[in-house]
Structure 1
Amino acid sequence: MKKKKRLYPLLSLMLLLPFLLYHGNNALDITTFEIPSDELSGLRILHLSDLHNKSFGKNQEKIIEKINEIKPDLIVFTGDLVDGRRKGHQNALTLMDILSRNYTVYRVNGNHDFGDNGYALKPKLDELHIVTLENACDTYYYNDIPVQIKGVDDPISYDRANREPEFKNSLEILDDTVYNILLSHRPEHFNDYVESGYDLVLTGHAHGGQLRLPMLGGVIAPHQGILPAYDAGAYTSGPTTMIVSRGLGNSLFPFRLFNNPELVVIDFK
C-alpha cells in the first residue's frame, strides 16, 4: 500500500507533463517594461525574438490577435526568424507579411538567419518593406522626435579570427545627441553595449534559459551555459538598459518548461 502511495505523485506528474509542455510552448505571455522619458512619452515598442519558424495557429492568428490588442507604434525583431536545423520559412514569412501591412517593422539577423532558410527569406522580407538593419542605422520619428535605431548582425557573420573586435566596431553610435536603441541578437555582450553608450538595447537568443526554476531563473542558454547571467528581463548599468526577450520558438532543445513564449512590450512614460 505504501508503495502505491509513493507512486501517486509520479503518476500525477506524468499525466500533467504533456499539458505543461504544450502550455509552455504555445501560451503567449505579455511582459511590459516601462522606460522613463519625457520626450518619448507614449511611445510603445513591441519586441519579438527567436521565432524559429514556429506556428501560432493558422496564418499565425493567435499571435497576430495578441499583437493587434497591444497596438504598438513599431515592432522590432531581434533575430532567428528561422531555424538553421530545420527546413522552411513559411511561418516566419506569414507572420512578417501580416505585420508589415499595419506596422513599421525593424529586424536584425540572428545566428540561425545565416543559412539557407535565412538567405531565401531575406529578399521576400525586402519586398514587404521590412527594415533589416545589417550593421546599419535608421532614424525613427515619434511625434517629430528622432530616435536612432541601430541593428547589428550576429557575431557568427564575422570571420572567427576577427570576430570580437569587428563586432565591437559594429556597435559605434552615429549620433549621441539623440535617443539610441540597439537591436542585437545576443545578450551576453551587455558590457560592450554599455561601453558603447546605448540608452536601450533589445536582445534575445537565450530562450529564457529554456527551463525556468523558482529563485534560479533560466537553466541553460546558448553561449552562456548553465545558469546564464542574462536570460530574460531587464538589466541596467549606468544609463543603459538591456531587455532580453524569452523568445517565441525553440531550436536544438524542442521544449520549454515554466517559460512561455513571450511578447515584450516597452512603454515610454
Structure 2
Amino acid sequence: MRKAAAIPLSVLGLGVAGVAYASIIERNWFRLRRFDVPVLEPGQRPIRILHLTDLHLTPGRKRLIEWVRSLDALRPDLVVNTGDTIAHPDAVPAYVRAVEPLLSRPGLFVYGSNDLYAPRPKNPARYLWRTSKGDIAQHMPSLPWEELGASMTAAGWLDMNNTVARIKVADLDVHVGGIHDSHINRDRYDAIAGPAPADADLRLGVMHSPEPRNLTRFAMDGYQLLLAGHTHGGQLCIPFYGALVTNCGIDRARVKGLHRHTTAWLHVSAGLGTSPYAPARFACPPEATLLTLIARPPKRRGTTTSRVR
C-alpha cells in the first residue's frame, strides 16, 4: 500500500519541481544569442543589430530590466524592437529604464498586440490546437501604446508600423520596411509594397508576427533580412523535439533562430518575457539576439542563388 502511494506522490513531486523550474529559474535565465548574417557586399564593414522582442514587461520585473540595460555594453549599431513590449498599464516607465542606455543608439520598433491590449487569464493549453488570433475582445486598446511609442520616438527611434524609412547605420545606407501586427489584423503590407530600393546597402524588413504571407511579400520585394518575434520560441518545449506550437503560420522548424525564407534571411527571436498569466518557460530560455551582418561570400562562376524555405 505504501509503495502504491509513493508512485503518485513522486510524480506529483516531479510535477511541482518542473513548474518551479519553468516559472522561477528558466523564466529568469536570460540568454544572448549571436548569429552572423551574410547579407552585405564584399568590402563593407560588419554592423551589429540588437534584436529585442516580447518583453511583456510589468513594473516588478527588476531582473529583466537590469539585464536589458546591460546589453548596451554590446555597442550595437542598431536596436530593433519587434513588439509585445508591455503587459501592464504602468509598465512604460519600467521599459524606459530598461532601454535607457540603448536609446542613444539608432533604433526602430513595431508594435505587437500586447502593446495595445492587456493580457487576460486564459488556458494556455488551448494553444496546442489553435492560435491566439482573434482572442482580443476589447473594441479599444487598453494599454498605453501611444505613450510607449512616444518614449522611443522622442529619443529618435523610428516607428515602423506600416511604413518605410531610409536610415544611416554606421557606414551603411539602410532601407527599412515595417508592418504592424498581423495577429490583430493591423498589418497593411500594401502601404509599403513595391521593390525595395536596389541602391540601399541593406534592405531590412521588421514585423511582430512572422506570418509566411508577409514574409514572402518582403522577400519578393527584395528585402534581405527579416526580423520578427511573437512565437516565444514555443515557450514550453520538449527537449530534443522542440516547440509544440508557434501561435502563428510559421512552421515549427523556424519558430526561433536564423533561417531562410525564399531569398531572404529570417530571424525569429524567442523573446524575453511571457504573459503574466503564463509565467513559465521550459526548454526555451528567454533571449535577445546580437546579429552581426557580414559580407556575402563571392559567387562562384556558373552558380546561381539557391532558394531555401
Q: TM-score, normalised by structure 2?
A: 0.73
8 A contact 1:24–1:260 mirrored in 2:
yes
Q: Distance in 1 between matches of 2:26 and 2:248?
A: 23
1:209 Cα offset (Å): 0.9
8 A contact 1:78–1:184 mirrored in 2:
yes
Q: Distance in 2 between matches of 1:212 and 1:228?
A: 11
Residue 132 of structure 1 corresponds to 159
Letter in 1 for 2:232: H
Q: Distance in 2 between matches of 1:224 and 1:91?
A: 32
1:266 Cα offset (Å): 0.5
8 A contact 1:97–1:128 mirrored in 2:
no
Could you tell me which runs of 5 or more consecutive residues in structure 2 were left unpaired when the two chains were aligned: 117-140, 295-309
1:57 aligns with 2:62: yes
1:42 aligns with 2:69: no
8 A contact 1:112–1:118 mirrored in 2:
no
Q: TM-score, normalised by structure 1?
A: 0.83
8 A contact 1:138–1:150 mirrored in 2:
yes
Q: Distance in 2 between matches of 1:206 and 1:234?
A: 14
Aligned pair partner of 1:98 in 75, 96, 101: 101
Report which of the two has the higher share of helix: 1
For 2:255, what is the secondary structure of its paired residue? coil
Letter in 1 for 2:218: Y
Residue 207 of structure 1 corresponds to 232
Letter in 1 for 2:168: Y
How many pairs does the alignment contain? 259
Q: Distance in 1 between matches of 2:162 and 2:222?
A: 16
Q: How does 1:1-269 map to 2 (within 5 A)?
A: 2-3=3-4, 6=7, 7-8=9-10, 10-36=12-38, 37=40, 38-54=42-58, 56-57=61-62, 60-65=65-70, 67-83=71-87, 86-89=88-91, 90-101=93-104, 103-114=105-116, 115=141, 116-155=143-182, 166-178=188-200, 179-189=202-212, 190-224=215-249, 228=252, 230-251=254-275, 253-269=278-294
The structure with the largest alpha-carbon Rg is 2
Q: Distance in 2 between matches of 1:203 and 1:59?
A: 20
Moved more, 54-63 or 188-197: 54-63
**CA RMSD of the aligned region, Å?**
2.7
Letter in 2 for 1:151: G
8 A contact 1:23–1:260 mirrored in 2:
no
Q: Distance in 2 between matches of 1:145 and 1:104?
A: 12
1:158 Cα offset (Å): 5.3
